Amino acid sequence: MVTISREQAICMFYCEPYNESNVVKLSKLIDDMNNIEICYSDHPTEPMLLCQTRINQNPVKFKTYISRNVISSRIIENEMVQDHIILTNQQQVVQFLNTCFLPYDPGNDQLYEEKNVTNGDIFSTLLQHTEIFNDKSVTSFGNWCSSKKVDFLMCKPKRKRYANNSMISVRSLYILKKEYFTEIVKRIVLFLTEYQTEIRNLKKQGFKILGYARKSEGAEDHETRIRLLNLMFDHVFVSYNSQANDPLAERDMKQKDELLTQLSAEGNTQDMLAYITNTEKICLVALDHAGLSTNCNDLYGFLTQHPNLEKVMIDTMPTESVIHVYERNRLLNEPEMLKKFECRKKPHQRSK
């Protein structure tokens, strides 16, 4: 069966030719309607408009269309199953290096291991996942990293003597384990389009999207920890020092204002709680389950006390290749679903 995109379905519904001008004009008509979405029941060639609440009530009967951007990315993904997935631009390379070679301890032995590596070691690993530097030397690569201010340069190199008495500069970095490299490349190349589409769809439904970054108390100095948090999100609420099982309502009660002002964040956990209390239709996004909480009893109480929090989105792309979207009612009424947050024995990236 031919796949019909949301944009094609909209043009079909209004009996207009499928072209970019009509897509923009007609999509805006539907997007401007409050709580209305295009869908189908028996066959995708018969689109109709229906209240989003009605669709949510019976998602088996009423099915929504997929954006053409998502369809395109999935086609690319299917093609890449047979081909080697590679990084194709410098921005992707920077993201790969900043994910795989950390100058700080992420507190995650499942994903990372500490090693002494040279620029040549890093360069050799990178060449397995991109063709951008095929005609470059290790020296050129090092100069390029400096110009891009790649994160691993924050770790100062040390001279180490080897068995043949040669001295080589090495850095002690926390390196992503080899078996996860391919998944990270896949995430970088394919994931952004689908993730942005998901966020846009939620915003069209009237949701306010909040990012929450929780960082445990650790050995990183202030500069490194602040940079870590800035890298995680553009606009977030941040818990600067908290453990994964700390009650949410008790976090950041003694927040240091001078530290918070240095973060690219709108406030701490207490500020986030106040925002949720006073704002309807919230979707809260966190990096892995432990990035929000591993205390299921407290999380249950948190959801009970904050009815405005309708969705929780958990990004586990590095380890599970999936974004978990939890509906508030299901978390409250299905204990097995809530238990997914009890993941302390298998910590994911950036949680401790």
Task: In whole angstroms, give the CA distance from residue 313 to residue 24.
Answer: 29
Burial class (CB in 10 A: 0-12, 13-18, 19+), 27: middle
Instruction: Examine the pLDDT at 115 and tell me if it is beyond 50.
Output: yes
The alpha-carbon radius of gyration of the chain (Å, integer) is 23
320 pLDDT band (50/70/90 cuts)? low
Q: Calculate the alpha carbon distances from 171 to 87, 120, 176 in Å.
A: 24, 11, 15
Q: Please, are residues 7 and 27 in contact by the beta-carbon 8 Å criterion?
A: yes
Q: Please, are residues 175 and 113 in contact by the beta-carbon 8 Å criterion?
A: yes
Mean pLDDT of 111-134: 93
192 against 149, higher pLDDT: 149
Of the candidates 111, 108, 112, 105, the one whose C-alpha atom is nearest the C-alpha of residue 220 is 105
347 pLDDT band (50/70/90 cuts)? very low
Q: Please, are residues 158 and 171 in contact by the beta-carbon 8 Å criterion?
A: yes
265 against 312, higher pLDDT: 312
> Residue 71 corresponds to which amino acid?
I
Task: In whole angstroms, give the CA distance from residue 141 to residue 73.
Answer: 30
Task: In whole angstroms, give the CA distance from residue 275 to residue 269.
Answer: 10
Between 59-63, 149-153, 320-324, the lowest mean confidence (pLDDT) is in 320-324
Instruction: Examine the pLDDT at 4 and tell me if it is beyond 90.
Output: no
Tell me 189's DSSP state. Answer: I
pLDDT of residue 321: 54
pLDDT of residue 349: 40
pLDDT of residue 262: 59
Between 124-128, 198-202, 208-212, 297-301, the lowest mean confidence (pLDDT) is in 198-202
Give the three-class secondary structure for 272.
helix
254 against 117, higher pLDDT: 117
Burial 252-261 (b: 16+ CB within 10 A, else e): beebeeeebe
Mean pLDDT of 94-119: 89
State which H helix or E strand residue 343 sits in. Answer: none
Structure tokens at 317: 């792309």
26 pLDDT band (50/70/90 cuts)? very high
pTM above 0.75, yes or no: no
Task: In whole angstroms, give the CA distance from residue 136 to residue 130.
Answer: 12
pLDDT of residue 308: 95
155 pLDDT band (50/70/90 cuts)? very high
Q: Which residue is it, tokens 């940079």?
A: 227
Q: Which residue is it, tokens 């030719």?
A: 17
pLDDT, one tens digit per residue, over 162-211 is 666 778 899 999 999 988 898 888 878 876 666 667 777 888 888 998 88
Task: In whole angstroms, give the CA distance from residue 11 to residue 175.
Answer: 49
pLDDT of residue 171: 95
pLDDT, one tens digit per residue, over 222-262 is 444 445 444 444 467 888 778 889 999 999 887 666 666 65
Q: Tell how strand 36-40 and strand 48-51 pair up.
A: antiparallel
Structure tokens at 37: 């979405």
* Number of residues in the chain: 352
